[in-house]
Structure 1
Amino acid sequence: MTITAFDKLTCPLDGTALQQAGVAWQCASGHSYDIARQGYVHLLPVQNKRSRDPGDSKAMVAARRAFLNSGYYQPIADAVAEAVLAGAPLSQPLACLDAGCGEGYYLRRLAEVAGGHHPLSILGLDISKYAIQAAARQDARPAWVVGSNANLPVEAESMDRLLCLFGFPVYAEFARVLKPGGRLVQVDAGPDHLKELRAIIYPEVRKETRPVRALPEGFGHLSSRELSLTLELTNAGAIGDLLAMTPHFYRANAEGRAAAEALESLSVTVQVRIQSFEKARA
């Protein structure tokens, strides 16, 4: 398979193009960003942080890595890969950004599904340095960046595809970095997502869904797909990883977490909505 690292990065301080110079990325203004020994670059200025270590913690990343690498969400990853590759030309690398990539599971699966048929130029970005460290350790081929969806360190109109999975979409930024005709693939939780787990950890279960948004400005709607799975988790480790990798672990009270930790098996619904949007052509 042909997988290359996306390299059209920009300085998070002044927006100018970055060029790799040895073990650092530098802009014409003299700002320099070292490449970490794991192979990623940190492009989130301290003044743009809301906390010392924003995003997922090391424990959440470890739990997500263990759970996803067990294959439980592979049907979702395969459906996302299908949406990303739909309509993709074979003559040149498809530039793909996962905005909120976590530990890189969905990009790794995309590369596997693409095989040798679709050349890819890949960038994974997440606000959590722990997530990016884990992603870089597992696959050195993509570019991995610590950064924010609110200020993507990416050249304008340089991406063919943009993924936003269970994340925080910033449509103005997504539209800026996508080429005309480029596609956004967005995945959100459905109303029954993890309903059995939520029934155990919360006194009252609410629908797990976000409010319906109007069509993002500058985009046209291409497709929507609902995907539902029933997972049979047969050990406490997998149940604990599923809980720990979600925000529910921190929202639940001590009694709810204790009830989940006591489980030895769980049949749980996974329900997502996969939408594809196309950026308006000039």
Structure 2
Amino acid sequence: MNVIPFPSLACPLDGAPLFGHGPAWRCAAGHSFDIASQGYGNLLPVQQKRSRDPGDSKEMVAARRRFLNAGHYQPIAAAVSRAVLDGLPDDATISCLDAGCGEGYYLRQLAAAQDNGQTLAVLGLDISKWAVLSAAKQDQRPNWIVGTNAHLPVLAKTLDRVLCMFGFPVYAEFARVLKPGGRLLQVDAGPDHLRELREIIYPALKPERAADQQVPAGFCRLSMETVRFSLCLDSQELIADLLAMTPHLYRASAEGRGRAAALTTLAVTVDVRLTSFGREA
């Protein structure tokens, strides 16, 4: 598959198109955003930040990189890649945003999914500069940018696919940037996701809430798929990496984290829901 950078970026300050000018992106009003030597750009203005260093920390990103690159979530990546490419001709050119891309694992898996004549214009966005830096170091073909889902620096109606992997969906923004007929592919934790780990780190599990069947405004539901499999984690380091890449790292008490740290093996269930939404005309 031919992988190219996604070109239709927008200025995060005024929404105008951005154009490349050497090692920077600029809009017609003169707003300029540097492209780092590692190949990524920062399109997150200070007024759109909620903290000094938002998003995942350097340590969390490193844990996720080790865990995902070892292939433990490859069945999820394969299901997402199939959903992205479903129904597309072999010579199609498609544009895809991973909104909350982390260190870029799912986009790299998508780029490697098929060896054919398709062209994939790729944009990975995350609010964590550490995540985007890690992604850019591993593959410089896509555009990698620091940004926020709440104000996507993307021109309207320019994307064929948007991925939201265990992230924070902002449906109004996703609807704005998707072309009519484009698709939003959303992956969320199912009721049994990492249940065995959660039973160890929490005193008791909260009752599962009923699945939200509401369809976001501007979309129609196309399909829903369950991806479920078991993992056998055979080292303290691997278990620690799994915990570090989840929100449970901060939700658990010190005692709960201590119980997890004492484990040397853990059999755990992976249970996720992959929902495909179509952008209505």
Distance in 2, Cα, partners of 1:222 & 1:82 = 14
Distance in 1, Cα, partners of 2:185 & 2:56 = 22
Aligned residue type for 1:97: L
Q: Which residue of 2 aligns with 1:195?
A: 195
- Compute the RMSD of aligned alpha carbons: 1.2
Q: Flag structure 2 segments of 5+ consecutive residues without an equivalent.
A: none
Distance in 2, Cα, partners of 1:208 & 1:196 = 15
Cα shift at 1:207: 4.9
Deviations 1:86-105 (A, max 9, x none): 12233342100000000000
Cα shift at 1:204: 1.0
Cα shift at 1:227: 1.2
State TM-score, norm by structure 2. 0.97
Cα shift at 1:133: 0.3
Q: Is residue 271 of structure 1 aligned with residue 271 of structure 2?
A: yes
Structure 2 counterpart SS, 1:155: coil
Q: Which residue of 2 aligns with 1:84?
A: 84
Distance in 1, Cα, partners of 2:182 & 2:271 = 26
Q: Which residue of 2 aligns with 1:248?
A: 248
Distance in 1, Cα, partners of 2:89 & 2:152 = 25
Percent identical = 62
Q: Which residue of 2 aligns with 1:68?
A: 68
Q: Flag structure 1 segments of 5+ consecutive residues without an equivalent.
A: none
Cα shift at 1:206: 2.3
Distance in 2, Cα, partners of 1:154 & 1:18 = 9
Tell me: CA distance 1:38–1:209, structure 2 relative to 1, closer, same or farther (3 Å). Answer: farther
Report if the CA contact (8 A) 2:91-2:117 is conserved. no
Cα shift at 1:123: 0.3
Distance in 2, Cα, partners of 1:131 & 1:210 = 32
State TM-score, norm by structure 1. 0.97
Distance in 2, Cα, partners of 1:114 & 1:143 = 20
Tell me: CA distance 1:207–1:41, structure 2 relative to 1, closer, same or farther (3 Å). Answer: farther
Q: Which structure 1 residue ranges, 4+ long, deviate > 4 Å from structure 2?
A: 207-211
Distance in 2, Cα, partners of 1:52 & 1:32 = 21
Distance in 2, Cα, partners of 1:107 & 1:274 = 16
Distance in 1, Cα, partners of 2:173 & 2:210 = 20
Report if the CA contact (8 A) 2:11-2:18 is conserved. yes
Q: Is residue 57 of structure 1 aligned with residue 57 of structure 2?
A: yes
Report if the CA contact (8 A) 1:226-1:271 is conserved. yes
